C-alpha cells in the first residue's frame, strides 16, 4: 500500500480533487458572466460541490475543510465573513447525517436530496445576511437563485461523477 514517493504524491494529489473542484467553482462563481440578467440570479455552485462530495467521499471533505472553503468564498465574494462557512458546514453535516438515505439510490433521489438541503442552505444564507445587514433582502431573487442552483445540479454532479471515476476510482 505504501508505494514509492511518487505514488504517494500522486495519491495525495488525488485526495485534493474535491477541494480543488470546489475552489474552481468558487472562482467560476466570481467570474463576470456578461449575459444580460444572469448576474443577480447566478447559481451558488460551490454548495453543489459540498453536497456532492459530502455524500460521495465525506473523508475527503471534512468539516474543517468545508469551513475553510466557506471562508475563501466569503472573502472572494465580499459577503459577510463566516456566513458561507456556516452554510457549507451545515450542508456537510446534514448530508452526512442523511448519507444512508441517499447513497446507492438512483440519481433522482440525490437531486431531491439536494433540492431540500440546497434550498435550506440558501434560505439560511438569506436569513443570516438579512440579519447582519439589518434589512430583509428581496426574496424573489433568492428564490430564483435556489431554482438556478438546483437546476445546475445534474450537470455539475455528472461532471463530478466523471472526475470521481477518472481520478478517485483506485482509492
Partner 1 sequence: MKQHSGTLGRLATLKLLAQRFAFLSLVMASFALMLLGKADTLLVERLRETVGDVVAPILDVMSRPAGVVSDIVSGVHDLAALRAENVRLHEENATLLHWHTVARQLDNENRALRGQLNFVPDPDPSFITTRVIGDTGGAFVHSMLINSGVREGVRKGQAVIAGEVLVGRIAEVGQRAARVLLLTDINSHIPVIIENSRAKAILTGDNSDRPHLNYLSPNTNAAPGDRVVTSGHGGAFPPGMPIGVISSVQDGIVRVEPFVHRHQLEYVTVVDYGLAGVLPSDGPAEGRER
Contacts of 66 (CB under 8 A, 6+ apart): 50, 54, 85, 88, 89, 91, 92
Give contact residues for partner 1 (rule: CB under 8 A).
27-42, 44, 63-64, 67, 70-72, 75-83, 85-86, 89-90, 93, 125-126, 128-129, 132-133, 135, 137-138, 141-142, 144-145
Residue 108 C-beta: closest distance to partner 1, Å: 27
Minimum CB distance to partner 1, residue 114 (Å)? 18
**For partner 1, the closer CB: 51 or 164:** 51
Nearer to partner 1, 72 or 168 (CB): 72
Measured CA to CA, the distance from residue 44 to residue 118 in angstroms comes to: 9
Cα angle 147, 121, 20; round to 5: 90
By C-beta, is 60 or 142 nearer to partner 1? 142
CB nearer partner 1, residue 68 or residue 163? 68
Cβ 165 to partner 1 shortest distance, Å: 25
Closest distance to partner 1 from the beta carbon of 21 (Å): 15
For residue 66, give the nearest of 28, 3, 109, 121 by alpha carbon: 121
Tell me the C-alpha distance between 45 and 36, whole Å: 19
Rounded least distance, CB 141 to partner 1, Å: 4
Write the DSSP string, 39-98: GGG---HHHHHHHHHHHH-GGGS-HHHHHHHHHHHHHHHTPPTTHHHHHHHHHHHHHHHT
Amino acid at each position: 500500500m505504501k508505494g514509492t514517493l511518487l505514488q504517494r504524491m500522486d495519491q495525495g494529489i488525488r485526495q485534493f480533487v474535491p477541494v480543488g473542484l470546489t475552489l474552481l467553482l468558487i472562482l467560476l462563481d466570481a467570474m463576470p458572466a456578461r449575459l444580460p440578467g444572469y448576474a443577480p440570479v447566478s447559481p451558488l455552485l460551490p454548495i453543489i460541490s459540498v453536497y456532492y462530495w459530502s455524500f460521495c467521499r465525506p473523508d475527503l471533505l471534512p468539516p474543517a475543510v468545508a469551513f475553510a472553503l466557506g471562508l475563501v468564498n466569503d472573502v472572494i465574494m465580499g459577503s459577510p465573513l463566516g456566513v458561507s462557512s456556516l452554510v457549507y458546514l451545515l450542508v456537510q453535516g446534514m448530508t452526512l447525517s442523511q448519507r444512508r438515505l441517499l447513497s446507492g439510490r438512483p440519481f433522482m433521489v440525490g437531486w431531491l436530496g439536494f433540492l431540500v438541503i440546497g434550498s435550506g442552505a440558501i434560505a439560511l444564507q438569506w436569513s443570516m445576511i438579512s440579519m447582519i445587514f439589518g434589512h430583509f433582502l428581496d426574496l424573489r431573487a433568492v428564490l430564483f437563485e435556489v431554482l438556478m442552483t438546483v437546476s445546475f445540479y445534474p450537470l455539475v454532479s455528472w461532471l463530478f461523477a466523471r472526475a470521481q471515476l477518472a481520478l478517485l476510482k483506485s482509492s
